[in-house]
Amino acid sequence: MLEYLKLSIDGASVRTVKGTSVLDAALAAGICIPHLCYIPVLKDTGACRLCIVEQVMNGRSKVTTSCTLNAEEGMVILSSTEKIQNLRRNIAELLVAQAPNSRAIQDMAVRCGVKEVRYPFRNDKCVQCGRCVRYCSEYSHANALGFVGRGQDRHVEFALGFRRDLCKNCGFCTEFCPMSITPCGGPMKHGEERLCGMCDSKINPTPYQPGICVRCDLGKGFQCARQHYA
């Protein structure tokens, strides 16, 4: 038996099924909450922190990730207050400063309102969103690659070298990797990293309106879970 419930997101009354995350409920209702590590078919992990929202309870608000928060009856959620927009923008800024060589990450930064990057750019090949790792273990049950190390030297690696006996050739790791899409102007070499700002504004001139899905470029392809809700 499906148990329905209602919660309030940005003032709108949203109806969803018990057991759904707040993020999922919002996306289904056409409310845009940026996200990166979230993939509907995989377990929520709350790693990228982009999907943060404010949960209002007893007169106080708590910042929490909407992907790990289960929707409950009567919940009051605010997804794009000024505070959230600032926090989200800062997180996106950290991401694009770390790994600018991806159209998806550049797009995400623009979506989240990043106008300038205040840190020296790096040129990491991996943004540690965890999609490849989680697909490999949770979906394909191959466990051929995973996170290794901790903190600074944490990275994705094969289990003691690429193993033909473990990899099932499903291809999800490359298919869902945000770093596999190069920036529009071509790959950025060392020293040439910058905030591109071309992709999104070039293809979709509609300015980002907080909270409303404008069917941006991130939604096409696989970068946004909204594609599941048409």
Partner 1 sequence: MTKLDSILEGRRSQPHQLIEVLHDLQEQYGYIPEKAMLAVAGELGVPLMEVYRVASFYKTFSRKPRGQNVFTVCTGTACHVRGANLLIDQVQGQLKIAPGSTTADGRVTLESVNCVGACALGPVVMRNGSYFHHVTPGKLRKLIDQTGKIKKEEFHEKTKGN
Partner 2 sequence: MKRLRGTEDLTALRTKVQRERKKVKATIIICGGTGCQASQSPAVIAAMKKELTAQGLDKDVHVRTTGCHGFCEQGPLMVFEPGNLFYCHVTPADVPDIVARTVKGGKTIERLLYQDPLSGRKVRTEEEIPFYQLQDRQLLSYNKLVDPLSINDYIAIGGYMALAKTLTSLEPPAVIAEVKASGLRGRGGAGFPAGLKWAECAEMPGEEKYVICNADEGDPGAYMDRCLLEANPHLILEGMLIAARAVGASQGYIYVRKEYPLAVKHVKAALEQARNLGLLGDGILGSSFSFDIEVSRGAGAFVCGESTALMASLEGRVGEPRAKDVRSVKEGLWHKPTVLNNVETLANIPAIILNGAPWFAAKGARDSNGTKIFSLTGHVKNTGLVEVAMGTSLRQIIFDIGGGPKNGKAIKAVQTGGPSGGCLPVSCFDLSVDFDTLTGAGSMMGSGGMVVMDESTCMVEVSRYFLKFLQDESCGKCVPCRLGIERMLEITTDITEGRGRREQLPLLIDLANTVSETSLCGLGKTAPNPVLSALRYFPEEYAAHIDQGKCPAGVCKALIHYAIDADKCNGCGKCLRACPHEAISGKKKAAHIIDDQKCNKCGICSGECNFAAITVH
Which residues of this protein are in contact with partner 2, per CB under 8 A? Answer: 44-50, 52, 63-65, 68-70, 86-87, 90-91, 94-95, 97-98, 118-120, 128, 130, 147, 149-152, 154
Spatial contact of 214 and 32, defined as CB atoms under 8 Å apart: yes
Helix (H, G, I), strand (E, B) or coil at 191: coil
Q: Which residue in 128, 112, 114, 119 sits closest to 179, CA to CA?
A: 128
d(CA 227, CA 20): 17
Which of the listed partners (partner 1, partner 2, none) does 168 bind, with a CB threshold of 5 to 8 Å by partner kind?
Answer: none
If the CB atoms of residues 1 and 160 are measured against partner 1, the closer one turns out to be 160
Which of the listed partners (partner 2, partner 1, none) does 119 bind, with a CB threshold of 5 to 8 Å by partner kind?
Answer: partner 2
* Binding of residue 167 to partner 1 (CB under 8 A): no
* Binding of residue 198 to partner 1 (CB under 8 A): no
Which of the listed partners (partner 1, partner 2, none) does 63 bind, with a CB threshold of 5 to 8 Å by partner kind?
Answer: partner 2
Q: How far is the CB of 140 from partner 1 (least distance, A)?
A: 12
Q: What angle do CA 211, 46, 174 make, to 5 degrees?
A: 95
Helix (H, G, I), strand (E, B) or coil at 15: strand
Give the DSSP per-residue string, 17-65.
ETT-BHHHHHHHTTB----SS--TTS-----S-TTEEEEEETTEEEEEE
* Binding of residue 147 to partner 1 (CB under 8 A): yes
At 110, give phi and psi (nearest 5°).
-65, -45
Q: How far is the CB of 149 from partner 2 (least distance, A)?
A: 8
d(CA 230, CA 222): 13
If the CB atoms of residues 125 and 155 are measured against partner 1, the closer one turns out to be 155
Among 24-32, 40-48, 75-83, 153-161, the segment contacting partner 1 (CB under 8 A): 153-161
If the CB atoms of residues 4 and 162 are measured against partner 1, the closer one turns out to be 162
Which of the listed partners (partner 2, partner 1, none) does 137 bind, with a CB threshold of 5 to 8 Å by partner kind?
Answer: partner 1
d(CA 212, CA 65): 18
If the CB atoms of residues 3 and 165 are measured against partner 2, the closer one turns out to be 3
Q: How far is the CB of 21 from partner 2 (least distance, A)?
A: 10
AA letter at 23: L
Interaction site with partner 1 (CB under 8 A): 137, 143-150, 157, 159-160, 163, 166
